[in-house]
Amino acid sequence: MMQPTLSITDHTPHTTPIHVIKRNGTLAALDVTKIRAVVEWACSGTQANPIPLEAGLTTRLRNGVTTREIQENLINCSLELCSPTEPDWRYVAGRLHMWSLWKDTLAGRGYQYGDYPQTVARKVAANEYDERILTYTPDELEIADSWINPDWDTDYDYAGATLLTKRYLLKDELPQEAYLTCALLLASVEEPQNRLKWAKKFYEAIAQRKISLATPILANLRIPGGSLSSCFITAMDDNLESIYETLTDTARISKNGGGVGVNVSRIRATGSWVMGKSNASGGVVPWIKLLNDTAIAVNQGGRRAGAVTVSLDIWHLDALEFLEMQTENGDQRRKAYDIFPQLVIADEFMRRVIAKQDWTLVDPYEVKNKLGIDLPTLWGEEFEQAYKTIEAEVGRTLNLYNRINAREFFKTIMRTQVETGMPYLAFKDTINRANPNSHQGYIPGVNLCCESFSNVSPGIEAHCCNLNSLNFATLEIEELPDICQTAVRMLDNTIEITHPPFSASKTHNQKYRTIGVGAMGLADWLAKRQLSYEDLPQMSHLFEEMGYWCTHASMELAKERGAYNSFAGSQWSKGNLIGAKPVDWFRENSEQPQRWEQLSQDIQTYGIRNSHITAIAPNTSSSLVQGCTASILPTYSRFFYDKWAKGSVPIAPPFITNSFWYYQENKHLEQKKVVAAVSTIQQWIDTGISMELLFNLNTGIYFQDEPERTLKAKDIFETLIMAWEQKCKAVYYVRTVQRDDFKEGLTDCSSCAN
């Protein structure tokens, strides 16, 4: 006989009782009122009507159905009901997902929230929590337990709830416990009398999603021995020892979930000399292939493949082959499909691109040995003078070279970007002019997400940076003085408790104390105020506030803890401020010049704690957890579906219902407006900004008066030139929309998802 069934809306009496299997394996009589209560709870406070969800429950409530099946079906029904006109269903699905997490945790350990000290003791004993959490007494842990607000778990939409639970939480761990443990560990280096005060501030900022912790911090801080830095940059010197040391360091970074930047500009070119034999070198590509295979083999603890961006200066003789490493044509033995190529571009090259002049590619080994010029270390006027000397010796002293037209070379770069999205472009002179530590070295390239960088020296110091982001979707300008202080202090504390994966990164941490307070949710901040990406003065005001208060916070920390070790002789020590700009610039361009003048004087008096303070990462995945739009860029679309392993997931900005028409869609926005916005913001950010450009190639998108016109290569060319001219520091991905029904998947920056 068929077992009797019951739908949630079925009131017909049945002779056979229906039983469900609970999460702990026990049987219980079906109580439809409990299901209705959960549906009502999940819909409360939203614009979602619970009746369609009750009616849409498709799992027949047969005898023996599991409560987990019922819950999963309610989630699926909610996702199916989600649409541009009814976007709140994604929050209903998120709450139902959290409900399942609560119930699973109750079944797994016997309690939900309410006994945090027991959770700490159990996880430390199981080697799941860093024992440094025991710095706090049981009484202090009880006090911290009282801060937990379970209601904050209900603020996530489905995408955010799923990412949080799948990527960041440990087994039998709830979100607020994870946030609280992170906050307590971050505050553990504070003076004992102040630890709980700062821990509470940290917890509330994280749990209320005003500050987003970068992925390595949120994922690794609680576990023993975790590296907390998001991004690293190292460099290969032109010898086997350095090359293989760099490969080992790359593996160590990848093991801990960090993103790696490796500069290979010192490596001799194809056809160069090896042990006195001419035409013996295989160039940079064989070593890049080893980096490529290392990224695949050391897969971030099984979570995902490692991520490595390899940078090469634009004058290197192998630059053309470097561009072809990810294209389909050519010798497959000289391909590297799993790294992220980056070209480091000098101002002189860009000037020649505009003027359609020739450009000369040379071998750094020959240049150094015959002319005594260490070309990779040079930038600005020093590079330009050396380059003129080099070009004068081409065909005479120098035999390895390739003279090409700069404009045609740039077109080749553009074609590769349209085909593969890369290479990234790093504007070396712009980056190094803004380097506060030019007295100690130079910056060879940018990190994996193009926003964080500082001095690098092969085998001696490797850039590493700890990141978090302010969530402007949840913040008002008036909160910035306090929230910036909190964010900067968090990251400075992170430097004290991290475990750098290799010695050169530890040296860099101690020498420069580089941090990166970033931003996300700018599109939300603008839409809530009915502003657009053309409203540059308002954006400038917002980021001037952020830049000022983050810099001020680091100065205040220097009063308390001392300046970073290389402060003496730095641009900061000379009174220059964000981007190594003189105080006169702030007198002319800031809204409140007097406070910048005072800050300049205070930094000269007391020092500054961190050599780099602000950097805006792409934070694509972490912004979903934060419930806001990613980074400072426009939202791709007001509403779209992203393909995940379990199907399509609705993605929409948080304030879509009330601010729908004020969200400018990036897929329809002229990218010169994006460049202008990034350039405006960059003035107040001392490191970099992850700037992705998205070009729509469909007809009539950008040209309302010319409905048949499509975007041409000339338009993309002008946008990239504009990025350089307006002093943007780098270009991240270049993406294209090829047809009207194109759905852009979310790109995960594998280590800077912060």
How far apart CA 254 and CA 297 sit, in angstroms, is: 9
From the number of C-beta atoms within 10 Å of its C-beta (0-12, 13-18, 19+), residue 372 rates as exposed
Beta carbons within 8 Å of 283's beta carbon, 6+ residues apart: 267, 268, 269, 270, 271, 272, 317, 318, 321
Q: How many Cβ atoms from other residues are within 10 Å of residue 46's Cβ? A: 17
From the number of C-beta atoms within 10 Å of its C-beta (0-12, 13-18, 19+), residue 605 rates as exposed
**Amino acid making up residue 661:** W
Residue 447 designated active-site: yes
CB 519 within 8 A of CB 468: no
Please choose, from the candidates 557, 546, 569, 547, the residue with its C-alpha nearest in 3D space to the C-alpha of residue 602. Answer: 557
The C-alpha angle 498, 502, 504, rounded to 5 degrees, equals: 100
Three-state DSSP state, 463 = strand
* Torsion angles phi and psi, residue 388, rounded to 5: -65, -40
Beta bridge partners of residue 736, listed in sequence order:
695
How far apart CA 504 and CA 285 sit, in angstroms, is: 25
CB 688 within 8 A of CB 679: no
Tokens standing for 645? 């392993």
How far apart CA 564 and CA 511 sit, in angstroms, is: 6
Report which secondary-structure segment, H or E, holds 493.
helix 480-497
Please choose, from the candidates 649, 654, 648, 646, the residue with its C-alpha nearest in 3D space to the C-alpha of residue 626. Answer: 654
How far apart CA 147 and CA 176 sit, in angstroms, is: 9
CB 487 within 8 A of CB 595: no
CB 168 within 8 A of CB 116: no
Place of tokens 């034999």: 277
Q: How far is CA 584 from CA 20, 148, 332, 569, in A?
A: 73, 47, 54, 19
The C-alpha angle 133, 136, 140, rounded to 5 degrees, equals: 130
Given 76, 447, 466, 666, the catalytic residue: 447
Q: If you count DSSP H runs as helices and E runs as strands, how many of each does the chain have, helices first?
A: 28, 18
With b for 16 or more beta-carbon neighbours within 10 A and e for fewer, the 200-210 pattern comes to bbbbbbbbebb
Tokens standing for 519? 């931003």
CB 5 within 8 A of CB 60: yes
Tokens standing for 502? 């290799």
Cα 184 from chain centroid (whole Å): 24
How far apart CA 602 and CA 608 sit, in angstroms, is: 9
How far apart CA 447 and CA 263 sit, in angstroms, is: 10
| Exposure of 675 in the CB half-sphere (CA atoms within 13 A) | 24
Q: Strand 647-651 and strand 340-345: pairing?
A: unpaired
Given 173, 451, 461, 545, the catalytic residue: 451
The C-alpha angle 166, 167, 172, rounded to 5 degrees, equals: 55
Given 82, 182, 449, 465, the catalytic residue: 449
How far apart CA 451 and CA 614 sit, in angstroms, is: 9
Residue 63 designated active-site: no
From the number of C-beta atoms within 10 Å of its C-beta (0-12, 13-18, 19+), residue 706 rates as exposed
Catalytic residues: 447, 449, 451
